[in-house]
Amino acid sequence: MPKTSSPAPGQLAVADDLLTLLRDSTTEPRPDTQLEALTLAVAADLPVLLWGEPGIGKTAALTQLATALDLPLTTVIASVHEPSDFSGLPVVGDDPARQGVPMAPPDWAVRLVRAGRGLLFLDELSTAPPAVQAALLRLVLERRIGALRLPPGVRIVAAANPRSSAADGWELSPPLANRFVHLQWTHDHDVVVRGLGGTWPRATLPRLDPAKLTEAVEFARRAVCTFLTARPTLVHRLPSGEARRGGAWPSPRSWDMTLSLIAFATAAGSSREVLSLLVRGTVGDGPGLELLAAIDRMDLPDPEVLLADPARAELPERGDRRQASLEAVVAAVNARPERWRWDAAWELLVRALDTGAPDLVVAPATALAALRREDWDVPEAIERLAGAVSLSRRADEAAGRALATGQGAR
């Protein structure tokens, strides 16, 4: 047989140098909504579960996060472990009848306790069988593995693939799913391209304003408690479908997590997009969007204050909040219909017309006109609003005809 020549020893060293260059990368401060949501939940010491297709970068994001936060990363593949690896292995002593049988923790848990801090990454969670998921309950909620309790400096983050793309995947059990903040992890084209070029977004813990801590807690408590007082059926609502039970859904536990996240987001001055990801990832899309709408209404000006002095009224700049304020004013007039209040509401609509988009006054003006009593004179302000309302309606009708024509052409 002919002899095959082996590569020269020096070539492997050159290959290692090339690999080092390929792995060399840097980070930069760059707005990244999902990364900010992840770091905020980690700062709040809440277990996070990243959902995403294989190869989307979940593991890489966690590795980069651990490096940025200077936390030792411990990765545990949940699907390749037995339930006893999380609940503890029984160790029989000299006299088990008197001393009992202690549950010995695995080596990775011992290392975390000795370090006193770290990032525990539970990967491939959706491929863990039900028995392993049951054993994980105590770890995720109580931070206990066998006889050990993880120190406060240890954060828990998990990752999972949707069942449709997971190898021998399982739906998460409702008790385990309800212990996580669920974040949908997607790729951003610009981030990937720039990262492949050697520069990734930098993961940093949010900067909490010490002066806002008390105010943030009060705001979060008021937001959640006011909302649940008005929507008591959402305090606990277990979804009917198996797949939805494996995601975010409302319970007293998840509402408590939501309250914490609102407080952290408020103290950090996070954007609405970040807060939306966190709230919807804790109690689900439906309840989460309702809560966000309720929070928006909390920040709206009091309609009675607006009616009292319409000439000096300060309306919100953002379109949706401005329209909500105007609708609240109309609702206030409807609740206590008086001539002066009706006239003041028209003044507010004119002010909104002068300082914002005309289409925002169409619905409130139509509703306010319907509240007119027979003995109430039509105010001069209506003439200014009539043109805007008429123009807006004609534009809507034209858009509707164009859409109908386009569909008919198909």
DSSP letter string, 268-289: HT--HHHHHHHHHHHH-HHHHH
Residue 136, pLDDT above cutoff 80: yes
Main-chain dihedrals φ then ψ at residue 120, nearest 5 degrees: -90, 115
More confident residue, 45 or 201: 45
The pairing of strands 48-51 and 26-28 is: unpaired
118-122, 143-147, 346-350: least confident range: 143-147
- pLDDT value at position 398? 44
Mean pLDDT on 250-257: 96
Could you give the count of Cα atoms lying within 13 Å of 102 in the half-sphere of its Cβ? Answer: 9
Q: Per-residue pLDDT for 248 more than 90? A: yes
**Residue tagged 């080092």 (tokens):** 20
Question: What's the confidence (pLDDT) of residue 1?
Answer: 54
Please indicate whether residue 241 or residue 390 has the higher confidence score (pLDDT). 241
| High-pLDDT (> 90) share of the chain, % | 34
- Residue 80, pLDDT above cutoff 90: no
| Three-state secondary structure string covering 113-160 | HHHCEEEEEEECHHHCCHHHHHHHHHHHHHCEECCEECCCEEEEEEEE
d(CA 408, CA 410): 5
What are the phi and psi torsion angles at 284 (to 5°)? 100, 165
pLDDT at residue number 8: 58
Q: State residue 391's pLDDT score.
A: 47
Q: Is the pLDDT of residue 327 over 80?
A: yes
Q: Average pLDDT of 148-156?
A: 91
Highest averaged pLDDT of the listed ranges 55-64, 191-200, 375-384:
191-200
Parse the chain into domains and list their residue ranges: 31-90+102-201, 210-298, 303-404
Give the pLDDT of residue 2.
58
* Secondary structure of residue 398 in the 3-state scheme: helix
* Right CATH for 31-90+102-201 from 3.30.70.3270, 3.40.50.300, 1.20.120.1200, 2.60.120.10: 3.40.50.300
Alpha-carbon Rg of the chain, whole angstroms?
Answer: 29
- To which H or E segment does residue 28 belong? strand 26-28
Helix pair 252-268, 272-283: axis angle to 10 deg: 170
pLDDT, average across residues 312-338: 87
End-to-end CA distance of the chain: 71
Mean pLDDT of the chain: 84
The answer, yes or no, to whether residue 230 has pLDDT greater than 90, is no
Q: Highest-confidence range of 52-61, 151-160, 253-262, 350-359, by mean pLDDT?
A: 253-262
Q: Model-level pTM? A: 0.73
Q: Which of 227-231, 281-285, 318-322 has the highest mean pLDDT?
A: 281-285
**Sign of the alpha-carbon torsion through 251, 254, 260, 264:** negative
- pLDDT for res 393: 52
- Mean pLDDT score, 66-85: 85
- Residue 104 vs residues 15, 78, 115, 153: alpha-carbon distances, Å: 43, 18, 18, 21
Q: Are 32 and 68 in contact (CB under 8 A)?
A: no
Query: 93 φ, ψ to 5°?
Result: -95, -165
For residues 177 and 92, which has the higher predicted lDDT (pLDDT)?
A: 177
The tens digit of pLDDT for each residue in 259-296 reads: 999 999 999 999 999 999 999 999 999 999 999 988 88
- Helix locations, 231-271, DSSP H: 242-245, 252-268
Query: Which residues fall within 8 angstroms of residue 79, CB to CB, at 6 or more apart?
Result: 124, 127, 128, 129, 132
Report the pLDDT value the prediction gives residue 396, as an integer from 0 to 100: 46
Higher-confidence residue of 185 and 187: namely 185
Answer yes or no: is pLDDT of 377 > 50. yes
What are 256's two structure tokens? 């408590």
